[in-house]
Chain A
Amino acid sequence: MPRTSPPISVQLKRVVPSRWDCLALVLVLLGLLFLAETSRQLLQPLSGLQATPLSLDPSDLPMYAARTTLRMLAAMAFSLLFTFTFATWAAKSARAERILIPMLDILQSVPILGFISVTVVFFMALAPGRVLGAEFAAIFAIFTSQAWNMAFSFYQSLRTVPHELTEAARCFQLSPWMRFWRLEVPFAMPGLVWNMMMSMSGGWFFVVASESISVGSTAVTLPGVGSYIALAIAHQDFNAIGWAIVAMAAVILTYDQLLFRPLVAWSDRFRSDQERHTPPPRSWVLTVLRRSRIVRNLRRALHKHGPRISVARPRVLEVRGLPLRLQDTAWTGIAAALALLLIWYVIHVVRSELAWQDVFGVVALGLVTMVRVFVLIALATLVWVPVGVWIGLRPRAAQISQPIAQFLAAFPANLMFPIAVSAIVAWHLNADVWLSPLMILGTQWYILFNVIAGATTLPRDMQDAAANLQVTGWLWWRRVALPAVLPYYVTGAITASGGSWNAAIVAEAVSWGPTHLSAHGIGSYIAQATSDGDFHRIVLGIAIMAGFVVLLNRVFWRPMYHYVERRCRLD
């Protein structure tokens, strides 16, 4: 069973940041600043936007759920488009690669809800007075939760297409366009589909969060499950929350059965390794599609009369002329000049609007959130690793529980927050302590999910050898079980930790009716800045949180990941 893929900064070979990393950081920061600046100027005239009236009637929920689902689909389409262009560019041009991949890394570390805070006003300005702008903002937020992973997976696949296959393509004189569709895309398909599925399951969290958001005086309410929940919270309506949870579960299950199971089963045909160790993935939907006569005839007709995408070839402008050395120098020169300009600009903005105390204050809040994340990951580890090992070593139990863990990881945990908050309010608990578990409510399942997958890979013979040598108790955990699941556990912990940072923005500041609870941390700082419409503080919070995530990935998770991959890999 496969596991989740770790973030880009963990996978990359390089540890020390290069000048390209710095440039990427600056570029992303500038992009955010630009959006923030624009938003600040656009904020006033837009404040009168008419919000769509929502109802708490459960009979409206299916329509809301459909709207939420459509948003997901639209974002997935954009992510695919981005993947095919951006990743291909990075893989084909060494020059572009140097800056594009570090940019992906930084972009992946930027908290996704931060993207919404910054972009929502900008997008609404694109379609003034209409819902369309807010739709774009929500779709963009989901896009940011999917695109980076998918692009990186695709880029990696393109880089690892076997040499013989490329040479064979060259022998048959396939044009680059044909080679892309006939060789490279099929080769990358299994990895891409798996990544799509994983990104999608992360996406539900953000689609729900992005439907109802207010930046300063601009309130956005898009019809959907997320805003239904927001309304239910405002009205303190437990029944409505229950209905929303049911609707969400139904949507996720349907999506999984109708879209991703068939996709995974279908992409299995593109696996390039000949040996098969596990039974092929199956999907009843795909089977029905394949057996159906209508679909077969449609396919045949399409094959005969449809446009041949893989043969038709767009004209590509070829840039040539300048000698290579000169091009390289020019490229580096332009990049460096741009970087200097941007750094100057960033310093200028920061000095004019923010004091250094602000920066230190936010870093301190970041440290608080970091402690929270680590403590929670440690607690989740203590609980879920033994459980995961126990399940993973029992094939039947693993078969039943892995999809459940996958489902729980996909379920937007923010739907559950109100219940927790009402409990905290009722028992007068300390918000700084008791809001924390919400951060890991949805992400802990990644640990369980990956540990189960890890334990199922422990070969039967190794289990027998331990039994034969009468290795039991703590010795068994230390020498057999823990090392076996360690690579999977680390991957799960990385995913869970990344997800928890993201969740901090909604988990450290929550409300229930008129009650507002907030814990100290960088998440509540960003949330507060967002509701104040203070764009410089939003960008500062986002930048520092992204900095924390990148730094932790590079100095903590990355060495650990590579060490356990080297030491504990089963081969």
Chain B
Amino acid sequence: MPSGLEQVSPPLLRVEQVRQVFAKPGGGELVVLDNIDLKLEDGEILGLLGRSGSGKSTLLRAIAGLSATTSGRVIYEGREVAGPAHGIAMVFQSFALYPWLTVQQNVQLGLEALHVPPDDVRRRALAAIDLIGLSGFEGAFPRELSGGMRQRVGFARALVVNPTILLMDEAFSALDVLTAETLRTDFLDLWAEGQLPIKGVVLVTHNIEEAVQMCDRVLVMSINPGRIISEVKIDIPQPRNRLQPAFRALVDRLYSEMTAQRTEKAAQRQEIFPGVGIGTVLPLVTIAAMTGLIEALAGAPYHGKAHLQELAAALRLENELLQVGETLQLLRFAELGGGDMKLTPLGARFAVADADERKVLFARQLVTYVPLAAHIRRILDERPNHRAPKTRFSDEIEDYMGAADAERTLRTVIAWGRYAELFVYEDADGVFVAPTP
């Protein structure tokens, strides 16, 4: 429970000047984490909020001692973490249970590694299974359990070794909405009742509501490079109610924080997505998602302008909303800012246009604001046979980004270009072809 104690006791964990850099295949460096400093106080649930690619999971793995950092240190109990440390336990998004071990064997694994006497192993495992609400399922295999129950095993396995710090890596993301909610409140109840051995939690999430519901403090991380761009204290007493005005206001504020970085960049006439020119990394956003969002924004009750969090709740798009919104901003169909999204006049025109006109509008924006799409079309026009292999472009953009990003970017540009009838892509042969007029 957070209390006045946090002022006197030293922090449980310190992260000092951590940098993580990967070499790009085409040369150059990709800065995933850039000079991260943070402290985890005694009795605190600390949230790391950021979108995929912000390096938050990399940071969590560094804290757990699972991967080495390029520079900087993680200090736990006065010592530098240089490998998996006793006292730091982790819960995984994918649960990471061993399918060949029963629930009880999974939970006992950590105790056996600590050479605890067999009788104690059994007793402590059963107690942990009971605590997390799974008694009766000791002999079950993970594949017999639902997702929520599997993650309970994940929690029991982490808690049974009496860790000081619990790390959660998107621990609730793989669960459906209701199950995730139940598991979160159950965890918060145990935490509030002081039934857990842990003294602090670091929670990684991309879900803003989850961060506001669970954390005492949230650090917002940016993408490319991954930096902590702001710190937000959540001082609403537990249990928190999502409908409280104070709760809503904090969600709103975090939405603003997460879009602030974008607006700032847009103001400097920089691109919203990482990279420049044809090296811009594009997100996998479908045409259907874009048109759907434009239509929703144009219609009642928003009439062209909406609060991001209301829109997210109404469209059930909590995670993707920002990404789709930013894509619309990139194509100048909408603008983001101050936790709001607004249609541009062009976006409003798109909303009422028929299918053919939409394609024309989209194609024009695509050629103007997505340099890679324009580049592909130009190459096709220049070549006598109007054909070019995909590898020609993937090799080119891999000079700017990793292979996975390049593949995703090309898939996106193919989907957009096909819709805009800017080019034809023949998947079987992996070649781009100029459309026949």
Contact = CB atoms under 8 A, between A and B. Distances in A.
B389 interface: yes
Contacts of A570: 99
B385 A468 contact: no
Nearest to B115: A475
A465 B98 CA distance: 9
B96 A469 contact: no
Interface in A466-480: 466-472, 475, 479-480
A569 B99 contact: yes
A467 B66 CA distance: 7
A465 B92 contact: yes
B53 interface: no
Given A290-B430, A468-B89, A470-B86, A459 B94 contact: yes
Interface in A516-571: 567-571
Given A290-B430, A468-B64, A571 B99 contact: yes
A567 B143 CA distance: 10
A569 B93 CA distance: 20
Count chain B CB atoms within 10 A of each CB in A464, A469, A567, A570 and give the residue with the most: A469
B160 to A, nearest CB: 9
Contacts of A269: 428
Interface string A441-469: 00000000000000000010110111111
B389 A470 contact: no
Contacts of B64: 464, 468
B61 A469 contact: no
A267 B66 CA distance: 39
A472 B113 contact: yes
Contact of B100 (A293, A472, A568): A568
Contacts of B157: 465, 469
A472 B86 CA distance: 13
B140 interface: no
A230 B13 CA distance: 72
Contacts of A568: 99-100
A464 B109 contact: no
Nearest to B407: A279
Contacts of A483: 98, 100-101
Interface string B63-75: 0101000000000
Contacts of A465: 90, 92, 96, 157
B110 interface: yes
B113 A471 contact: yes
Given A269-B428, A291-B389, A468-B84, A462 B161 contact: no
Nearest to A476: B113
Nearest to A458: B98
A468 B66 contact: yes
Interface in B37-89: 61, 64, 66, 84, 86, 88-89
Contacts of A462: 96, 98
B152 to A, nearest CB: 15
B114 interface: yes
B143 A571 contact: yes
A490 B293 CA distance: 52
Contacts of B389: 287, 291
Count chain A CB atoms within 10 A of each CB in B101, B109, B143, B429 and give the residue with the most: B109
Contact of A469 (B161, B391, B430, B431): B161
Contacts of A472: 113
Contacts of B95: 461
B112 interface: yes
B114 A470 contact: yes
Contacts of B98: 462, 479-480, 483
B113 A469 contact: yes
A130 to B, nearest CB: 45
Contacts of B114: 470
B51 to A, nearest CB: 20
B431 A467 contact: no
Contacts of A484: 100
Contacts of B112: 471, 475, 479
Given A464-B61, A464-B92, A471 B428 contact: no
Interface in B165-192: none
A176 B395 CA distance: 45
B244 to A, nearest CB: 35
Interface in B327-350: none
Contact of B109 (A290, A293, A479): A479
A470 B81 CA distance: 14
A461 B89 CA distance: 13
A468 B143 CA distance: 22
B304 to A, nearest CB: 37
Contact of B84 (A291, A467, A486): A467
28 contacts: A287-B389, A291-B389, A293-B385, A461-B92, A461-B93, A461-B94, A462-B98, A464-B61, A464-B90, A465-B96, A467-B66, A468-B66, A468-B88, A469-B84, A469-B110, A469-B161, A470-B110, A471-B109, A471-B110, A471-B112, A475-B112, A479-B98, A479-B105, A479-B112, A480-B98, A567-B99, A567-B100, A568-B99
User: A-B pairs with the 4 shortest C-beta distances?
Assistant: A469-B110, A461-B96, A483-B100, A465-B96
Interface of B: 61, 64, 66, 84, 86, 88-90, 92-96, 98-101, 105, 109-110, 112-114, 143, 157, 161, 385, 389, 391, 428-431
Given A461-B94, A464-B92, A568-B100, 5 more contacts: A291-B431, A293-B385, A461-B93, A465-B90, A567-B99
